[in-house]
Amino acid sequence: MRNIRVYHVDAFTDQPFTGNTAGVVLDAEQLTGEEMQQIAKELNLSESIFLLPSDQTGIDYKVRYFTPTDEIPFCGHATIGLTWLLATELGLSQQQDGVVLGTGAGAIPVVWHQEEGRVQRVEMTQITPQIKALPVDLQAISEMVGVPVDAIDPAYPIQLSHTGNWHLLIPVHSQQAIDQATPDLIALSKHNKEYQIATTHLFTFTPDAEDDYDLYTRDFAPAIGIAEDPVTGAANGALTGYLYLNHMIPQDQITQLKIAQGRAIGRPGFLYVQAIPNGEHPIIKVAGTAKITIRGTLDI
């Protein structure tokens, strides 16, 4: 019998039962890829991350990411969940400042920000962002995401962006319109599979006036087995790259953004994102906190 350590970690929050829950599976060198997929299905979370030893110079650990139905190259909230656990539960922050993870998208450096010996935030550097156009039928997009055509903001392009996975980014006039979105998940899944898109990400620069964040977002991923992903590190990193490459944020100074997500489904969380100018290859950093909620052992 194999005993596999398994955790639930709520990422992009410091409160249990909020943010985005990741399955974090240690001891994955004992597992086959098929078993990892079965465990991800059993955990039934949006994504689960599996920790493996590394045989590559400059890579501390290899990781694999699975939704309940698919393996994917990269997942932001699961990366935050794993590295928070390594830093705190396993005490790695007392020995080093961070780790480099080998993912299907490339090397992802992660650092721990500490105060008085306590980890305050985990920050990952995502791979260099890319953007590309997509054939857009505004009426069809409106029907797929369940947002009226006049709620889609023409000031920003509907585009694909990538910092590990391709995300379809849709600008919306208001937070209320995002919260009221009722996507056609079957049509959206078919569309995203056709164009090899991981998620469809709605965003607005006009959150409710009393709130203290810069952007509000919502994310749907039926093509990879997730109806709605509560708080998405990968998609919001891709969003920040899109904003930079489209000259919507400065290209001559560091931009820091606070992004809110998850309120529409009762899992609110926050991400802290930086775009660091570097010509056409900006450096995108995504940070957040996490909370371990379940510790257990899977017996196989």
Stretch (H or E) spanning 144: helix 138-145
Nearest to 77 by CA among 17, 122, 129: 122
**Residue 19's closest CA among 293, 222, 300?**
293
Neighbours of 1 (CB within 10 A): 4
Nearest Cα neighbor of 20 from 285, 297, 239, 217 is 217
Amino acid in position 93: S
In contact, 21 and 294? CB cutoff 8 Å = no
47 is catalytic: yes
- Given the residues 35, 47, 123, 143, select the one marked as catalytic: 47
> What amino acid occupies position 97?
D
Residues 6+ apart with CB under 8 A from 137: none
Annotated catalytic sites, by residue? 47
